A = this chain, B = another copy of it.
């Protein structure tokens, strides 16, 4: 008894031809309908029939074939310094959501130091790319990325927290990370308003009476941290009697601890507040404070950046600048889409807020 059920198709994946056959039309019609461009070219009745046949068979287009035909892969690459931080997890989540809405795929490349991965992102990458999004990358890593792409400069690139905004009418001085003018139309930047965040930190601290404040800056040569340093100096300069200090710190708990110890035990009067470039450094700073027999925030106030879950895991909970990483990713993907459509316009940086918790308190009197 040869059974030829039509709706329970076993065997391999159905193709658009199978759908066509099932709907009694041609492959071209199927493509039109399923591609959403059948308005006024295919009768509503046949369109419906095609769609029914498609769902019936559980048809899913073969991406490889489509990509081959179209030349474009509708895929972007997200380059991050390390996957290990929840910050980048959030950036990814934001970006991938927007990508999905527009039928784009997003593949991850955890950059340089990521253990065991190929040095060149494009070697490790499957197929071709329509663009790349780079988040919080160091200046040289970024250069390397652009350079290493075969046919380089043409690839649309959006940088997240990685470069100053491309000022439309700004002549003269150019920051080291600023994209070369030639690449202007294939490059976009999306940033958190880090300067404002730092200003809020300094305002909060000076408002509490702190004057001797030391900045524990991440020892990484990238825009995202340079802004913090510069704004810290500028903000402190506006406060009478302010005594700013600064200590470079490795981007880790241990790094923060070491830097904080240096800051706290150096010559001159001891700072009453430590402003850290990141929550991890802040965690180290808190440890250092206690190792010296001092207390947070009684003797020394400590602040961070990011507002990772680490911030509330610490005790006391960390006062920190909350960066909407997910939004950053989402805006980044949107910017890339705009770039691809040739319609990108720079937007203002993403606003950030200061989450005031228990690691900051009024400066100890004398």
Chain A interface residues toward B at CB < 8 A = 13, 58, 60, 62-65, 67-68, 73-75, 82-86, 89-90, 92-94, 96-97, 100, 105, 107-108, 110, 114-118, 124-128, 150-151, 252-254, 280, 283-284, 286-287, 290, 309-310, 312-315, 326
Contacts and interface: CB of A to CB of B under 8 A. Distances in A.
Nearest to A110: B93
A68 B60 contact: no
Contact of A313 (B92, B280, B290): B280
11 contacts: A63-B64, A68-B68, A74-B126, A83-B89, A89-B89, A93-B110, A96-B110, A100-B116, A253-B313, A310-B310, A313-B313
Contacts of A287: 313, 315
Nearest to A313: B283
Per DSSP, chain A at the interface is: mixed
Contacts of A283: 313-314
A326 B116 CA distance: 11
Contacts of A124: 96, 100
Number of copies: 2
Contacts of A73: 64, 126
Nearest to A114: B93
A97 B150 CA distance: 23
A115 B84 contact: no
Contact of A286 (B89, B90, B315): B315
Given A83-B86, A85-B89, A97-B117, 17 more contacts: A62-B127, A63-B128, A64-B73, A65-B68, A84-B86, A84-B90, A84-B309, A93-B114, A93-B115, A94-B115, A96-B124, A107-B107, A252-B309, A253-B309, A253-B313, A284-B313, A313-B313
B100 A60 contact: no
Contact of A85 (B74, B86, B114): B86
